Amino acid sequence: MKINTFVIMSVLCVLAVSSCFSSNNKLAVTLGNPWVGVKYAVSAKVGSELRYAIDPDITNITARASYDFLSKDKLRGFAGLEYGMISFNYDGISGDGNSYAPFIGGELGLTDKLGVGLDFGYSTINLKAQDVSVSGPEYVFNLFLTYGIK
């Protein structure tokens, strides 16, 4: 993965978040396996998230956007799209690529600040190492904790 792509994506995310900031927005930290993320509620129905995979051999930075189609008591249903940038160096093979996926899921608020959720999606992953290129679908299942910090 080129650092320029990461810098451009980070700047765009910061600009999008800061331009949509209002007193109703909420910021949260998400924790899954093997990733951490920052979630931002742009409005009552629209959310964004930036995730970073924690793995010594793989770097995966993913941007997500979602829409809440269900909001009842402490239960929230959502659907969205994600795009990820991948780089890897495993057993002497290194390369980079991307992934994109539609997803659907739900989250249950346990307290005012703590929630547990899950989502699943159908991801298409494209990887390139030296002169070899591989693409293919993959089902992705995420189980996560959310802790609201604002």
- How many angstroms separate the CA atoms of 88 and 70, rounded? 37
Average pLDDT over every residue of 56-74: 93
Q: pLDDT class for 12, splitting at 50, 70, 90? A: low
Strand runs (DSSP E) across the chain, as ranges? 26-31, 35-41, 46-53, 58-72, 75-90, 93-109, 114-129, 132-148
Domain boundaries, the chain: 3-148
pTM, two decimals, is 0.81
> CATH topology for 3-148?
Porin (2.40.160)
DSSP letter (8 states) at residue 134: E
pLDDT above 70: percentage of residues in the chain: 83
DSSP letter (8 states) at residue 42: S
Is 1's pLDDT higher than 50?
no
What pLDDT is recorded for position 126?
Answer: 94
